[in-house]
Structure 1
Amino acid sequence: MHIIHCPYCGPREEVEFKYGGQAHITRPENPEALDDAQWADILFMRDNPKGVFAERWMHAAGCRRWFNALRHTVSHKILATYRMGEAPPVLETLEEAPR
């Protein structure tokens, strides 16, 4: 079982959380000017890196607040969590998989 650190409530078991997809997605400034193909790209295309990835999570069984997490997609280890609106923390070794 993974322990996830909620930035509001502290460390909790992973079953208390819900995944919310990729973090830091920029919405279009002029949405009415987009065609269907551009909308499809905005709504459905997401990054899928091998390495550190910024994600949104919600503490569903706790405070019910959304927050962001940096998770390594190979090891599934959550390296850091931070509140919505905050900049992601700088990690020294983003390329190397955590052990």
Structure 2
Amino acid sequence: MLIPHPLLGLRDSQEFTYLGDARLLKRPNPDAADAEHAFCDYVFLRDNLAGLHRELWFHEQGDRSWLVVTRDTITHEILDAELATELVLRDMA
């Protein structure tokens, strides 16, 4: 499987380490009234849906960047990849 790295072009997936659901980037607020419940859901609950999924991949054997990869879990087709730092900064703005 080839991952289209936004800076380096197509890279073999063996250069990367898969972390999981990209929703992990959106941590719950620890100061919220329901923080304990929110963190429990954040740590232990995951959807396992077939189809399009946004995933975190770490370019371990390359530039050590984090990517958010949009992949179809049925066909393994990769539709998009973007730097996680850019995504987080864009969401914060």
Q: Percent identity, please.
A: 34
Q: What does residue 87 of structure 2 align with?
A: 86
CA shift for structure 1 position 27: 1.6
CA shift for structure 1 position 19: 0.5
Q: What does residue 65 of structure 2 align with?
A: 65
Change (3 A) 1:86 1:42: closer
Find the aligned partners of 2:45 and 2:31 in 1 and give their Cα distance: 16
Find the aligned partners of 1:47 and 1:31 in 2 and give their Cα distance: 25
Q: What does residue 55 of structure 2 align with?
A: 55
Q: Is the 8 A contact 1:8 1:63 kept in 2?
A: no
Q: What does residue 17 of structure 1 align with?
A: 16
Task: Name the count of aligned residue pairs.
Answer: 85
| TM-score where L is the length of structure 2 | 0.76
Find the aligned partners of 1:39 and 1:86 in 2 and give their Cα distance: 22
What is the root-mean-square deviation of aligned Cα atoms in Å?
2.0
| TM-score where L is the length of structure 1 | 0.72
Structure with larger Rg: 1
Gaps of 5+ in 2: 89-93
Q: Is the 8 A contact 2:19 2:57 kept in 1?
A: yes
Matches within 5 A, 1:3-42: 3-25=2-24, 26-31=26-31, 33=33, 34-35=35-36, 38-42=38-42
Gaps of 5+ in 1: 88-99
